[in-house]
Structure 1
Amino acid sequence: MSYQVIVLNGGSSSGKSRLARELQKVLPGAWLSLSVDDLVDAMPPALVDGGDGIGFGDQGEVSVGDDFRALETAWMAGIAAMVRAGAQVVLDDVFLSGARSQARVRTQLEGLNVLWVGVRCAPEIAAARELARGDRTPGMAELQAEVVHEGVHYDLEVDTGTTESPECARAVAARVTS
């Protein structure tokens, strides 16, 4: 099977972005790296931290409203269109609703060859990374570490807390090229 999309799902600070960059180094061909953070960064300020967009609570909780969901659907349709036009994409995502989130993404990517990769990291390691980064709401990494994987089905899982990103990337690349 020739994969067109690699979906990396894991909590905040689990190592998805670093893994995506490492994958770009080891995968054959040109792979675009896109992240749900790109979507959030592109949203108008009125939809970040309030309203029907996306909000971040003081304890690290994340809430999403109808406007965010509508933009997320359009975003995913755009990614799927790029793939259908010939691009290969590594998608870095956070399935806040576990299996329901995967179902939404799966619907948008229907008909494409997708490799589903769970990116795990112990909550305490993710929390330490979050603290070192300084650009996340404290508590987000620990809250998301396990819940994003609930009910999600993967083709492959990696643990960036016990294995370095280049080695995780080689494991994913081996699956892609096998």
Structure 2
Amino acid sequence: MSGHVVFLNGASSAGKSSIAAELLELLPGPYFSLPRDAVNSMRSRARTPEFGTPGFEQVFERTVLGYHRMLAGLAAAGNGVIADHVLRPHWLADCLEVLREQEVTFVGVHCPLPELRRRQRERGDRPSGLAERQFPVVHAHGDYDFECDTSVRSARECALLIADFVAKPGRSGAFNRLRGG
């Protein structure tokens, strides 16, 4: 039996990790929260190119593709999974293929660019201009099963709405539509 994937997609600082933490308390049965950033932080730092240096993009790309396969593996074993991602178009294409056998509820986590900038400044742990680079592409595909805006609702409120949505039959269809099926 395949598990269910709640796939949170949004720009950095949009509130995905906060929503995922709340969902762990709300969703029935066991779910794993597996943020892409956590997988990225597991990589060794010794002899690994740093962000912005030659070779980093290739290492990062392999990390992200591996992350997609981790999500699929956990779900294929029957686990519930909460994914926390910032999708680029080619990563979405990879997810559509790799997660073909799993039920995926695709959730768009939105936040206006000025608020993302403010949050990133406040956090102080993100590269300058990250929100500007991600903002035009992260939601470019335009199709979700459910969407929320963290500038008008708290992470808890968004998680409650997502949990209610996930409890409904026929909850997941965006990945199939995006595949053209």
Whole-Å separation in 2 of the counterparts to 1:143 and 1:71: 19
Unaligned residue ranges in structure 2 (runs of 5+): 169-181
1:23: which partner in 2? 23
Deviation for aligned residue 1:79: 2.2
Letter in 2 for 1:107: E
Aligned partner of residue 91 in structure 1, secondary structure: strand
1:112: which partner in 2? 102
1:39-78 alignment runs, 5 A limit: 39-45=39-45, 46-49=48-51, 50-53=53-56, 64-65=57-58, 67-78=59-70
Is the Cα–Cα contact under 8 Å of residues 26 and 160 in structure 2 kept in the other structure? yes
Q: TM-score under structure 1 normalisation? A: 0.84
Letter in 1 for 2:27: L
1:84: which partner in 2? 76
Letter in 2 for 1:18: S
Deviation for aligned residue 1:72: 2.4
Deviation for aligned residue 1:3: 6.6
- CA separation of 1:72/1:142 partners in 2, compared to 1, >3 Å: closer, same or farther? closer
Is the Cα–Cα contact under 8 Å of residues 124 and 142 in structure 1 kept in the other structure? no
Q: Percent identity?
A: 34
Deviation for aligned residue 1:26: 1.2
Paired residues, what number?
164
1:115-130 alignment runs, 5 A limit: 115-130=105-120
Deviation for aligned residue 1:102: 1.3
- CA separation of 1:159/1:107 partners in 2, compared to 1, >3 Å: closer, same or farther? same
Is the Cα–Cα contact under 8 Å of residues 121 and 145 in structure 1 kept in the other structure? no
Is the Cα–Cα contact under 8 Å of residues 31 and 87 in structure 1 kept in the other structure? yes
Deviations 1:19-73 (A, max 9, x none): 10111111111211111101221223214313333xxxxxxxxxx32x3323322
1:57: which partner in 2? none
Deviation for aligned residue 1:142: 3.5
Whole-Å separation in 2 of the counterparts to 1:108 and 1:48: 28
Deviation for aligned residue 1:112: 0.4
Is the Cα–Cα contact under 8 Å of residues 14 and 160 in structure 1 kept in the other structure? yes
Whole-Å separation in 1 of the counterparts to 2:16 and 2:136: 14
Q: TM-score under structure 2 normalisation? A: 0.83
Unaligned residue ranges in structure 1 (runs of 5+): 54-63
Deviation for aligned residue 1:17: 0.4
Is 2:30 aligned against 1:38? no
- CA separation of 1:31/1:90 partners in 2, compared to 1, >3 Å: closer, same or farther? same
